[in-house]
Amino acid sequence: MATEEKLAKGAAFLIEETQAEKIFTPEDFTQEHQMIAETTRSFVEGEILPHSEQLEHQDWDLTVKLLHKAGELGLLAADIPEEYEGLGADKVTSALITEEITRGGSFALSHGAHVGIGTLPIVFFGNEDQKRRYLPKLASGEWIAAYALTEPGSGSDALGAKTTATLSADGKHYVLNGTKQYITNSGFANVFVVYAKIDGEKFSAFIVERDYSGVSTGPEEKKMGIKASSTRQLILEDVHVPVENLLGEPGRGHVIAFNILNIGRHKLAVGAVGAMKSALQVSVKYAKERKQFGTSISSFPLIQQKLADMNILTFVTESMAYRTTGDIDRQLEKLGKTSDGRQIAQAIEEYALECSVNKVFASEALDKVVDEGVQIHGGAGFIQDYPIERMYRDSRINRIFEGTNEVNRMIIPNTLLRKAMKGELALLQAATALQSELMGMMPISDEVSELGPIQHQLAMMKKIFLFVGGVSVQKYMQSLKDEQEILAWLADIVIEIYATESALLRTQKELDKGASAEQKVDMTTIFAQESFARVEQSARNILASMEEGDMLRTQLTLLRKLTRVQPVNTRDIKRRIAQRVIDAEKYLA
């Protein structure tokens, strides 16, 4: 390539305008991507769904057999480089596999824990010997992987782990002791990536094989949902792990842990897209079949409204998740094949904020979608014969694992402040520039072009963020980190901005291509309006929590300058969106 393409900088979307052509969208899938998605879908329809009941009842032999089958097809190999018998595919490919697998229920957790958090630490941070020993077996599914970070006493506070590793007298082994909790795939995994502190201090990662003496698992946890996945404690009693199985550098396990979490968050969002599409599909089908008062309930506007909302949330999450996937791909491509773990970690870390944004938005969107799905099903939605009942239970964990949404909401503003302090993001400059701008007149919305009003809303949302963000920093300075409510409202604004912008740019990109995009325009219009209202509310919450009296009145006046937008006809637009979904009987972008 003659000229190096400028890559999107993490979090820069808050202060910069992004060109539509620069983002990756689902409309950019190549034929190969589509074929891989199709194979995955056929696998789910042919091999997973027919066995749903058996898988839900925890027939681990079947789970392992199906993982092997997935391995034969190559569905475990996407992220593994070709030299270790993988496919070395891009992240869009593995995202698509994740999305499609999710449509087969919580078997996806077994798959995801294996290919994601189980395998990726070795892919990214393993040395040549470790990669050679483990990756081919993991690519084929001969061995199943798991990831053991959480402990009974340390969940969100991952670095508070109590598991210890002590170098043996002969220097050949680390002796591990401790208990890990809620370990997916623990019932049958052959290999675990385990975090422990060397000499009780240096947080480090180890590759631990199940067959090592002293490795055992606890009883199967009785979970609310995702029952087709195995969750147990991993118990380590004087486990002698060869020193060659230390993953990465001693004392740098946090680098591995945090970056694998970033990937995990991003993959969770992609998986949620698949789950939303399934929930929408069963719900729209049910709504068409179910007759009340002599007509299909899908003809009732209040049911249509739900279908429209579900379709919009799916569209927005999909737009965000694949935009981030594309950005991560480009970062990794730039590195080439010779990069080491640290470089890869940096490349992924660039989008740590986007990963958290995706995780929070997607898990909450999925919860809303399955909730409305149950509502559309009425009483039937409460009965286990209908898949929506399982989807509702399966959804709930997403707001908890891979970092709770509360932890992720704290990560978002903290990451921003760190980037601003390090000079990576000109956030403070932008906030200062806005202050003088606020004294003057605000530009009004471009009502002529189709997306003009939305572009205006997006621009105002970014200004609102800079305004209230700037005021909060001025007010609390260093102690802002203790103001969790303010930080969470700021995080919410950031999430809304990324969501609206991703939907808008995707729609813009289609229009620029000359494609007809009525559904996308309608969905983006509605989402932007609703998102804008939420942003305004968060901003008011922040201001009213910090100030009072004249000061508050002045700031609210400034805020009002940024919040003058024309409402749209939500009722008619949502009816249109829903009608298209009803006609197609599935998610329709």
Partner 1 sequence: MKILVLVKQTFDTEEKIRLQDGQVQEDGVRFVINPYDEYAIEEAIRIKEAGDAEVVVVSVGPSRSEEALRTALAMGADEAILADDSELFGDEYSAAKVLAAIARKDQYDLIIAGNQAVDDGSGQVAVRLAEELGIPHISTLTKLEVNGNEVIGHRDAEGDEEIVKATLPVLVTAQQGLNDPRYPSLIGIRKAGKKPLTHVTLADLGLTAEEIARKSEVVETFLPQPKTAGKILSGDLSQQVSELVTALHSVEKVIG
Active site residues: 402
* Nearest CB to partner 1, comparing residues 74 and 326: 74
**Burial class, 63, CB count within 10 angstroms (exposed 0-12 / middle 13-18 / buried 19+):** buried
The structure tokens listed for 472 are: 């909060």
| Least distance (Å) between residue 507 CB and partner 1 | 15
x/- contact string, 328-367, with partner 1 (CB under 8 A)? ----------------------------------------
Are 85 and 131 contacting, i.e. CB atoms less than 8 angstroms apart?
no
Contact between 27 and partner 1 by CB under 8 A: the answer reads no
Contact between 74 and partner 1 by CB under 8 A: the answer reads yes
Residue from 5, 19, 46, 132 touching partner 1 (CB under 8 A): that is 46
Contact between 116 and partner 1 by CB under 8 A: the answer reads no
* Nearest CB to partner 1, comparing residues 35 and 544: 35
Contact between 77 and partner 1 by CB under 8 A: the answer reads yes
Residues 6+ away with beta carbon under 8 Å from 2: none
| Residue 548 CB neighbours (<10 A) | 10
Dist. CA 513–CA 504, nearest whole Å: 14
Residue from 48, 66, 89, 176 touching partner 1 (CB under 8 A): that is 89
Please report, for residues 175, 282, 356, 363, the alpha-carbon distance to residue 307 in angstroms, rounded to integers and kept in the order given.
Answer: 55, 11, 27, 18
Contact between 296 and partner 1 by CB under 8 A: the answer reads no
Contact between 35 and partner 1 by CB under 8 A: the answer reads yes
Contact between 487 and partner 1 by CB under 8 A: the answer reads no
Q: Residue 151 — φ and ψ, nearest 5°? A: -130, 165
Q: Which H/E stretch holds residue 99?
A: helix 91-102
The structure tokens listed for 493 are: 């604004």
Q: Which residue bears the tokens 């202050």?
A: 435
The structure tokens listed for 524 are: 């983006």
* Nearest CB to partner 1, comparing residues 80 and 255: 80
| CB crowding 496-525: b at 16 or more within 10 Å, else e | bbbbbbbbbbbbbbbbeeeeebebbbbbbb
The structure tokens listed for 74 are: 């190559």
DSSP per-residue letters across 520-573: HHHHHHHHHHHHHHHHHHHHHHHHHHH--HHHHHHHHHHHHHH-------HHHH
Dist. CA 427–CA 435, nearest whole Å: 13
Contact between 577 and partner 1 by CB under 8 A: the answer reads no
Contact between 583 and partner 1 by CB under 8 A: the answer reads yes
| Least distance (Å) between residue 89 CB and partner 1 | 8
Dist. CA 59–CA 55, nearest whole Å: 6
Contact between 72 and partner 1 by CB under 8 A: the answer reads yes
Contact between 511 and partner 1 by CB under 8 A: the answer reads no
Closest listed residue to residue 344, CA positions, set 29, 513, 131: 131
Residue from 43, 143, 286, 527 touching partner 1 (CB under 8 A): that is 43
Residue from 1, 4, 6, 31 touching partner 1 (CB under 8 A): that is 31
Residue from 87, 115, 493, 523 touching partner 1 (CB under 8 A): that is 87
| Least distance (Å) between residue 588 CB and partner 1 | 5
Contact between 499 and partner 1 by CB under 8 A: the answer reads no
| Least distance (Å) between residue 116 CB and partner 1 | 17
Residues that bind partner 1 (rule: CB under 8 A) add up to a total of 23
Coil vs helix vs strand at 90: coil
| Least distance (Å) between residue 348 CB and partner 1 | 23
Q: Which H/E stretch holds residue 55?
A: helix 52-56
* Nearest CB to partner 1, comparing residues 68 and 254: 68
Contact between 36 and partner 1 by CB under 8 A: the answer reads yes
Residue from 27, 424, 547, 585 touching partner 1 (CB under 8 A): that is 585
* Nearest CB to partner 1, comparing residues 333 and 583: 583
Q: Which residue bears the tokens 């958290």?
A: 356
Residue from 19, 28, 34, 334 touching partner 1 (CB under 8 A): that is 34
Contact between 579 and partner 1 by CB under 8 A: the answer reads no
Contact between 38 and partner 1 by CB under 8 A: the answer reads yes
Contact between 451 and partner 1 by CB under 8 A: the answer reads no
**Binding interface with partner 1 (CB under 8 A):** 31-32, 34-36, 38-39, 42-43, 46, 72-75, 77-78, 87, 89, 583-585, 588-589
